[in-house]
Amino acid sequence: MARPRKQTYTLDMYLKKNKKGDIDNNAEVQRNFVWNKEQINELVVTVLTDDYIPPIILGEEEDSKLHIVDGGCRTSALIMYKYGNHKITSSIENSLIPYKKKVVDEDGRVIYEDAVFDIKNKTYEKLPEELKEKFDEYQIETVIHECSDSSRISKYIKRYNNHVAMNTDQKAFTYIDKFAGCIRKILDSRFFVECNNYSEKDKTKGVVERIVVETMMCMNHFDNWKTQAKAACKYLNHHATQEEFDVFADNLHRLERIVTDDIKEIFNKKDSFVFLTLFDRFTKLGAEDKKFAEFLRVFKTETRFTSRNEKGLLFDEIDKDLSTKDKQVITDKLNMLENLMAGFLRREEEPEDVSIESFVAGNLGLDIGLVRDNIDFYEECLTDLTDQSIRDGSRLLQKENHASLLAMFVYSFENNVDLKDWLTQYASGHNTYFADQKKNFLHMKAEFEKYEKARRAVQSVLGGSHGG
pLDDT in tens, the chain (468 residues): 557 889 999 999 999 999 998 998 874 434 456 688 888 999 999 999 999 998 998 888 877 788 888 888 899 999 999 999 999 998 888 899 999 998 888 888 988 899 999 999 999 999 999 999 999 999 999 988 887 676 666 666 666 565 556 688 888 888 898 998 899 899 999 999 999 999 888 888 889 999 999 999 999 999 999 999 999 999 999 999 999 999 999 999 999 999 999 999 999 999 999 999 999 999 998 899 999 999 999 999 999 999 999 899 999 999 998 899 999 999 999 999 999 999 898 887 655 556 899 899 889 888 888 899 999 999 999 999 999 999 888 888 888 899 999 999 999 999 999 999 999 999 888 878 888 888 899 999 999 999 989 888 888 877 655 444
Question: What is the rounded CA–CA span in Å between residue 47 and residue 88?
Answer: 13
Please state at what angle helix 72-83 crosses helix 37-48, rounded to 10 degrees.
80
**Which residue type is seen at 417?**
V
Cβ neighbours of residue 39 closer than 8 Å, sequence gap 6 or more: 73, 77
Q: How many other C-beta atoms can be found within 10 angstroms of the C-beta atom of residue 70?
A: 20
**Can you tell me the distance from the alpha carbon of 309 to that of 313, in angstroms, rounded to the nearest whole number?**
5
Q: Which residues pair with 116 in a beta bridge?
A: 98
Closest by Cα among 207, 144, 139, 176 to 1: 144
Q: Which amino acid is at 197?
A: N
Residues sharing a CB contact under 8 Å with residue 151, sequence separation 6 or more, in sequence order: none
3-state secondary structure of 66: strand
Tell whether pTM > 0.75.
no
Distance (Å, rounded) from C-alpha 120 to C-alpha 61? 41
Distance CA 315, CA 320 (A): 10
Letter for the amino acid at 209?
E
Alpha-carbon dihedral sign for residues 17, 18, 20, 24: positive
β-pairing verdict for 23-24 and 66-70: parallel
Give the pLDDT score at 203: 84
Angle (CA) 188-194-195 rounded to 5° is 105
d(CA 82, CA 126): 11
Taking residue 264's Cβ as centre, other Cβ atoms within 10 Å add up to: 17
Q: Which residues contact 134 (CB under 8 A, 6 or more apart)?
A: 47, 48, 50, 99
What's the distance, Cα to Cα, between the start and end of the chain in Å? 99
Buried b / exposed e over 283-311, threshold 16 CB at 10 Å, is eebebebebbbbbbebbeeebbeeeebee
Cβ 331 vs Cβ 274: under 8 Å: no
- Position 265 scores a pLDDT of 95
